[in-house]
Each structure stands twice: as C-alpha cells, then as structure tokens.
C-alpha cells in the first residue's frame, strides 16, 4: 500500500471517525458526571468495574486486571484508586492467600454514589449517541455501538 492507496485512506478515515465518536461521548459523559456527581469518567468506570466483583473464585480483581478494565496504566490506576480511597469511596486490603496481592473494594458510600450516578451516565451516553447518529460519518459506528452492527 502507498500513502495514496484508497484502502489506506479509507482505513485512516474510519479510525478518525471512531476517535471522534469516542471523544464526543467521553466529553459528554465527563461534563454530566462531573457537574452532577463530582466524578470523572475514569472514576465512574473504576467504581463500576470494582462494584461487579464477587466473593467467588476469581471474583476479585488484581490491580493489573483493574487497570486493563478501565484502560489505564497500572500507575495511573493506582493514583486513581488512591484518590477515591481518600474520598472514602474505595478501600484496599491484602489478599488472604497472597500477601503481595492488594485488592480494592467499593465502600458503601462508593456504591451509593455509583447508584446515583448510573442514570446520569446512561442518560448522557444515550444523548451523546443520539447526537452522533445525526452525523453521516458517525452514524454507522453508533449503530455498531448500539448492537445493530456485527457482534463485538
């Protein structure tokens, strides 16, 4: 392929459209969550991921798994956990079977805030997708995100 190859150009345009859609959605969610609940998108995502843990086998996530789930580096995830722990929304404890392992749980206050923020997140996501669907370049991506495209 050359720099003027139509397939390469189309691929680049689709990537730009995906990046644009992601940016618009994230910005819309950020404004809504921050203004109504004092949470960033990353903080909300972290609370959401950690709230889904359970006591069964493999039910608690190690920091690397949490970092992967919220799409951050381990160091950025650790800083984010620390900020939320300082706010009383998370707590950390040592793994009972591996003293090197540290787990993180959402506190009652964190679960309450997450429950309050979930409708805001869901509504803002719907608004952002509806707005993006009006753009002919983004509409096909919106359909995929909504599940009307190929399975993910």
Average pLDDT along the chain, 152 residues, taken 10 residues at a time: 73 92 97 98 97 82 90 94 97 79 91 98 98 95 83 52
Question: Torsion over CA of 98, 45, 91 and 99, rounded to 10 degrees?
Answer: 10
In a domain, 76, yes or no: yes
Per-residue confidence (pLDDT) for residue 151, from 0 to 100: 55
| Angle formed by the axes of helices 41-51 and 108-132, nearest 10° | 120
DSSP 92: E
What CATH number is associated with residue 90? 1.10.10.10
Residue 79 forms part of a structural domain: yes
In a domain, 102, yes or no: yes
With respect to residue 103, please indicate whether it lies within any of the assigned structural domains.
yes
Whether residue 44 is contained in a domain is answered as yes
- Answer yes or no: is 105 within a domain: yes
Residue 63 is predicted with a pLDDT of: 86
pTM: 0.86
Domain-embedded: residue 150 = no
Q: How many folded domains does the chain comprise?
A: 1
8 A C-beta contact, residue 17 and residue 143: no
Does some domain include residue 3? no
Residue 3 confidence (pLDDT): 59
Q: What residue numbers bound the domain in which 13 lies?
A: 8-145
pLDDT at residue number 145: 93
């Amino acid at each position: 392929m050359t720099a003027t190859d139509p397939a390469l150009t189309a691929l680049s345009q689709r990537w730009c459209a995906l990046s644009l859609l992601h940016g618009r959605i994230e910005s819309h969610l950020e404004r809504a969550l921050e203004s109504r609940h004092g949470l960033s998108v990353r903080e909300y995502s972290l609370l959401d991921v950690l709230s889904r843990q359970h006591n069964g086998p493999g039910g608690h996530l190690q920091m690397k798994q949490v970092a992967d789930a919220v799409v951050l580096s381990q160091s950025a995830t650790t800083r984010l956990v620390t900020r939320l722990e300082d706010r009383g929304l998370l707590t950390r404890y040592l793994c009972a079977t591996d003293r090197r392992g540290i787990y993180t749980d959402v506190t009652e206050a964190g679960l309450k805030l997450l429950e309050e923020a979930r409708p805001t997140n869901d509504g803002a996501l719907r608004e952002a997708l509806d707005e993006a669907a009006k753009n002919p370049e983004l509409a096909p991506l919106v359909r995929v995100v909504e599940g009307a495209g190929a399975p993910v």
